[in-house]
Amino acid sequence: MKKLLLAGFALLGATQAHAQILAPVHWSYAAKRTSPTEAVVLLKATIDPGWHIYSQNVKDGGPVKTTFTFDPSKAYALVGKTAEPTPITRLEKTFNMNVSYFEKSVVFQQKVKLAGKGPATVAGKLEFMTCNDEKCLPPDEITFSIPVK
């Protein structure tokens, strides 16, 4: 009976080891000062082949657009909106509308005005949805904390 029980646990462990959580988007962050009181925060998505994430500018009724929410802070103030490069736009039958998205990689940029000359940390969260030609994954939400030196 012990051998059967051990074999069952071994089989269960092997099955779970092969199950992988699908995560086709990998985020990285950086910041660079553009003056003693200003900086640009860079939020980069590296996207696995065959997958894409959506622009910040998707109309209602479509997929979940990429959004950035920055935590309020006395150390910095946002300057304008988060910028993105020109996306790919095409008709997606799933949503029956033109949608804009990014493949391979994309860098979003947010300008900030710093309250002082010392270091600051820009923190917040981002939400995005990942799809390929066959399926979409549920929207994902990630927190970030980016030091500005």
Residue 56 CA to residue 127 CA, distance in Å, equals: 10
Q: Is 140 exposed, middle or buried (0-12, 13-18, 19+ CB in 10 A)?
A: middle
* Nearest CA among 129, 133, 138 for reference residue 55: 129
Which pTM was predicted?
0.84
Q: How do the pLDDT tens digits run along the chain, 149 residues long?
A: 444 333 333 333 433 444 467 899 999 999 999 999 999 999 999 999 999 999 999 999 999 999 999 999 999 999 999 999 999 999 988 889 999 999 999 999 999 999 987 889 999 999 999 999 889 999 999 999 999 99
Question: pLDDT value at position 31?
Answer: 98
The arrangement of strands across the sheet holding 25-35 comes to 25-35, 38-47, 105-114, 76-83
Beta-strand ranges (E) seen in the chain are 25-35, 38-47, 52-54, 67-70, 76-83, 88-92, 97-103, 105-114, 120-128, 130-131, 140-148
Which letter, b or e, does each residue of 51-84 get, where b requires 16 or more Cβ atoms within 10 Å of its Cβ?
bbbbbbebeeebbbbbebebeeeeebebeeebeb
Question: pLDDT value at position 122?
Answer: 98
Question: pLDDT value at position 2?
Answer: 44
Question: pLDDT value at position 20?
Answer: 63
Question: pLDDT value at position 17?
Answer: 42
Residue 109 CA to residue 91 CA, distance in Å, equals: 26
Q: Which domains does the chain have, with CATH numbers?
A: 21-148 (2.60.40.1250)
Question: pLDDT value at position 139?
Answer: 97
